[in-house]
Structures are given as structure tokens and as C-alpha cells.
């Protein structure tokens, strides 16, 4: 099933994101994470694609297939194109389809340090259009509430979003953000631009200081003073910081759902504990607006 259809069936789509284990670890180290996440009955689980890409040992496809075929949960396989050629992209798209995966998150990917690319795919619209022409997959794309880190003129980002929709993107998942106003701003601009595809809000519960420093350097997300206060106050107390990070993410989600956003994508970082606590905290809120309950196991006390 194309995930886009879920946005037509439900008022709110709720999903998780996981990443494949590094090649030095056996692939089954992620299996227990999937098992635990599946109990929470998300609408789908997305699986990231290694930076720089690579078709050999494509664990993204294998893990996505397991999510779909063993747990009967829709899977969204991420795919980056910047370091690949058409033959490689064609191989991956066909491989996903043959494994029963129906959705792909079509990304350009980060340009690696030496700036080298194969040159066949220059931006996300190239791979979105290519996947549209060469597969029957549902196609998803990324969006950036605070603008993409490379964009010198953030105002053109909304034009790029429109180009992604025109190239064939069914819906969008946002980069993480810690101030909901950036997301609301993006929704307003998208509406003004005539973008009709749903935009799902990406939320990352922050549980340690190193993680947050890395994220900020990678994607440039703004840290609101309320958030910085929490980090500074609890940085030396692991449990307190984790709990404060979860509470902050829950507050963001409650505000987003109350503002009628179309979906929440939780960057669950292979941490089922965090996903469980957050989902339990917001389960009754999600169930109050969706006719199909999220999961009986989490909506109770
Ligand atoms: P693009 O849409 O191509 O945008 C990249 C830059 O080029 C932007 O500055 C944009 O403004 C500019 N641009 C795009 N099109 C044009 C145009 N036509 N004319 C002029 N300028 C243009 N990375 C991974 O390696 N693996 C993952 O699994 C992964 N998952 C992600 C999931 C989500 C939800 C998000 C938000 C990001 C993810 N990323 C992942 C990171 C992503 O690969 C990077 O943010 C990358 O730098 C941009 O990818 P994109 O598809 O948004 O690129």
C-alpha cells in the first residue's frame, strides 16, 4: 500500500524511523527494536539509508522487507542518489519492489566532504522523477522547516518543495525541529504556494548532549532558550536529561496534534524505550482523533 493513502484514511499518521546496524554488526541486532516498535502499531516504520549510499549489502531494503512481510506494517525505505548512477538506482528500486516494499523516501543525500558525485542525479527532483517513471512505488520527499543547511536564500526552499511535488512526491517528512513555529510557518508557505501533499512533522526526542551537538552541526536546527535551559540543567544526569527530553518532545507533539497537523514522524533512533514512553503519553490523544485506535496496549493506564 502506498503510505499516501493513509493520509486520506486517517486524520493523523504516526510513524517511527530506525537505522540499519553498521556493517560490522550483524543485521539481526535491529530485530528486537523492530519487534518492540511493532507492538506500538505505528502506521509505518521508515528505515534510513547509509550516508553516501551503496547498493552492496543494502540493509535498508532487507530491513524494510522484514517490517512489511513479517510484521505487516508499511515500510518506507530511504534512498539517496547523489553517489549513484541510474543502473544502481534502478537496481535498488526493483529490489525494493521485489521484496514487497511499496514506498521510498527519495533523497539527494549529503554531498560528501570531497564534493564528488557521479553526476547523474544532482538533486532530489532527479531521483523523485526517476522513481516515478521507473517504479510503482509511493514516493516521499524531505522538507526543511528552517530551510536546508546549504540554502543561502531560505526563501527558495518553498520553490524547491513545489518542484519536488511536481516531480512526483506523494507527501513530505520534515527535518527535525525544536520550535513548532518553524513548522507552522512552513505549512503556511506551502499552502500559499499551492502545495497539496501532506507534510508530516519530524520530531526527535533528545536524550543526551552529544547527540544534540551532532544534530545541530548537521542540520542547523535552532535550539529555543527553553530547550537550552533543559540541556544545561540536566546534562550531567543521564536519566533526568532523558526524561526531560521525552517531556519536551511530548509537549511539541501535543501542540502539533492540537494544531491539526497531518502526521508525526518520530525519529526513534532505534530506542524502543523512548518510542514506548512517548507513544504511551500521547496514545489517547491520537486515538481521540483517529477512528482506528493506535494500539490497545498503549492507550490504557
Ligand atoms: P534536495 O531537495 O536536492 O535539496 C538539497 C539542496 O539543494 C537544498 O539546499 C535545496 O534548496 C537545493 N536544491 C534542490 N533542488 C534544487 C534546484 N532544482 N535548484 C536549485 N537548488 C536546489 N540522509 C541520508 O544519507 N540517509 C537518510 O536515510 C536520510 N534520511 C532523511 C530523512 C529525512 C526526513 C530528512 C529531512 C533528511 C534525511 N537525510 C538522509 C538527509 C538528506 O539526505 C540531506 O538533508 C541532503 O543534504 C538533502 O537531501 P534532499 O533530498 O532534501 O535534497
**pLDDT (tens digit per residue) in 3-36:** 999 999 999 999 999 999 988 888 989 999 999 9
- C-alpha 111 to ligand 1 mean position (Å): 9
* C-alpha–C-alpha distance, residues 185 and 191, integer Å: 10
Query: What sections of the chain are H helices per DSSP?
Result: 4-9, 31-39, 59-69, 86-98, 124-134, 157-167, 180-192, 209-219, 225-234, 238-258, 272-289, 296-299
Please name the residue whose Cα sits nearest to atom 7 of ligand 1: 123
Rounded to the nearest 10°, the torsion over CA 24, 175, 146, 232 is -60
207 part of a folded domain: yes
Tell me, what's the pLDDT at 54?
60
The answer to whether residues 128 and 139 touch, using CB atoms and an 8 Å cutoff, is yes
Residues in the chain: 301
300 part of a folded domain: no
- C-alpha 107 to ligand 1 mean position (Å): 6
221 part of a folded domain: yes
- Across residues 258-282, what is the average pLDDT? 95
Please name the residue whose Cα sits nearest to atom 43 of ligand 1: 109
**pLDDT (tens digit per residue) in 161-176:** 999 999 999 999 999 9
Q: Which atom of ligand 1 is nearest to the CA of 127?
A: 51
Among 226, 286, 230, 243, smallest CA distance to 261 is for 286
Q: Which atom of ligand 1 is nearest to the CA of 49?
A: 28
**pLDDT (tens digit per residue) in 170-224:** 999 999 999 999 999 999 999 999 999 999 999 999 988 888 888 888 899 999 9
Please name the residue whose Cα sits nearest to atom 39 of ligand 1: 109
Ligand 1: list residues with CB < 6 Å.
48-49, 51, 78, 80, 105, 107-110, 123-125, 142, 148, 150-151, 157, 160, 163, 173, 175, 202
SS3 296: helix
> Which residue out of 5, 9, 17, 35 is catalytically annotated?
17
* Catalytic residue check, 17: yes
Q: Which residues contact 285 (CB under 8 A, 6 or more apart)?
A: 254, 257
Identify the H or E element spanning 174: strand 171-174
- C-alpha 196 to ligand 1 mean position (Å): 20
Q: What is the CATH number of the domain that holds 274?
A: 3.20.20.220
> Given pLDDT bands bounded at 50, 70 and 90, which one contains residue 299?
very low
Compute the radius of gyration of the chain from its Cα atoms: 18
* C-alpha–C-alpha distance, residues 200 and 173, integer Å: 5
- Across residues 241-258, what is the average pLDDT? 96
> Given pLDDT bands bounded at 50, 70 and 90, which one contains residue 56?
low
- C-alpha 145 to ligand 1 mean position (Å): 13
Tell me, what's the pLDDT at 23?
85
- C-alpha 125 to ligand 1 mean position (Å): 10
**Percentage of the chain surpassing pLDDT 90?**
76
> Given pLDDT bands bounded at 50, 70 and 90, which one contains residue 296?
very low
Residue 297 has pLDDT above 60, yes or no: no
Domain of 234, in residue numbers? 4-289
Q: Which atom of ligand 1 is nearest to the CA of 122?
A: 3
Using CA atoms, how far residue 266 sits from 18, 103, 168, 174, 301, in Å, is: 9, 18, 24, 11, 22
* Number of domains the chain is built from: 1
- C-alpha 45 to ligand 1 mean position (Å): 20
294 part of a folded domain: no
Pocket test for ligand 1, best of 46, 123, 221 (most atoms within 8 A of CB): 123
296 part of a folded domain: no
The answer to whether residues 227 and 247 touch, using CB atoms and an 8 Å cutoff, is no
85 part of a folded domain: yes
Parallel/antiparallel/unpaired status of strands 44-47 and 199-203: unpaired
88 part of a folded domain: yes
Q: Which residues contact 202 (CB under 8 A, 6 or more apart)?
A: 17, 173, 174, 175, 176, 177, 265, 267
Mean pLDDT for all residues in the chain: 92
Q: Which atom of ligand 1 is nearest to the CA of 19?
A: 28
299 part of a folded domain: no
* C-alpha–C-alpha distance, residues 46 and 52, integer Å: 18
Q: How many CB atoms lie within 10 A of CB 290?
A: 16
Cell readout for 187 is: 505549512
Q: Which atom of ligand 1 is nearest to the CA of 149?
A: 9
Predicted model pTM? 0.95
Residue 294 has pLDDT above 80, yes or no: no
* C-alpha–C-alpha distance, residues 36 and 275, integer Å: 9
Amino acid at each position: 500500500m502506498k503510505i499516501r493513502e493513509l493520509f486520506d484514511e486517517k486524520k493523523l499518521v504516526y510513524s517511527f524511523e530506525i537505522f540499519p546496524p553498521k556493517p560490522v554488526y550483524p543485521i539481526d541486532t535491529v530485530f528486537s527494536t523492530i519487534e518492540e516498535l511493532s507492538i506500538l502499531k505505528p502506521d509505518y516504520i521508515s528505515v534510513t539509508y547509509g550516508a553516501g549510499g551503496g547498493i552492496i549489502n543494502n540493509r535498508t531494503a532487507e530491513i524494510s522487507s522484514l517490517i512489511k512481510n513479517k510484521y505487516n506494517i508499511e515500510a518506507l525505505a530511504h534512498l539517496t542518489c547523489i553517489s549513484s548512477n541510474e543502473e544502481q538506482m534502478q537496481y535498488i528500486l526493483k529490489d525494493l519492489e521485489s521484496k514487497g516494499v511499496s514506498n521510498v523516501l527519495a533523497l539527494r543525500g549529503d554531498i560528501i566532504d570531497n564534493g564528488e558525485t557521479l553526476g547523474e542525479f544532482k538533486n532530489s527532483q532527479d531521483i523523485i522523477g526517476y522513481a516515478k517513471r521507473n517504479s510503482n512505488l509511493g514516493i516521499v520527499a524531505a522538507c526543511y522547516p528552517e530551510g536546508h543547511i546549504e540554502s543561502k536564500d531560505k526563501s527558495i526552499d518553498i520553490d524547491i518543495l513545489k518542484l519536488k511535488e511536481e516531480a512526483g512526491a506523494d507527501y513530505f517528512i520534515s527535518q527535525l525541529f525544536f520550535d513548532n513555529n518553524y513548522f507552522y510557518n512552513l505549512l503556511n508557505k506551502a499552502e500559499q504556494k499551492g502545495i497539496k501533499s501532506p507534510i508530516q512533522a519530524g520530531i526527535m526526542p533528545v536524550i543526551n548532549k552529544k547527540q544534540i551537538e551532532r544534530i545541530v552541526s548537521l542540520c542547523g536546527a535552532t535550539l529555543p532558550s527553553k530547550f537550552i535551559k533543559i540541556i544545561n540543567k540536566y546534562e550531567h544526569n543521564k536519566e533526568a536529561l532523558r526524561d526531560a527530553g521525552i517531556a519536551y518532545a511530548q509537549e511539541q507533539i501535543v501542540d502539533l496534534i492540537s494544531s491539526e497537523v497531518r502526521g508525526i514522524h518520530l525519529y526513534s533512533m532505534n530506542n524502543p524505550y523512548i518510542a514506548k514512553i512517548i507513544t504511551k503519553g500521547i496514545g489517547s490523544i491520537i486515538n481521540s482523533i483517529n477512528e482506528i485506535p493506535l494500539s490497545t496496549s498503549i492507550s490504557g493506564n
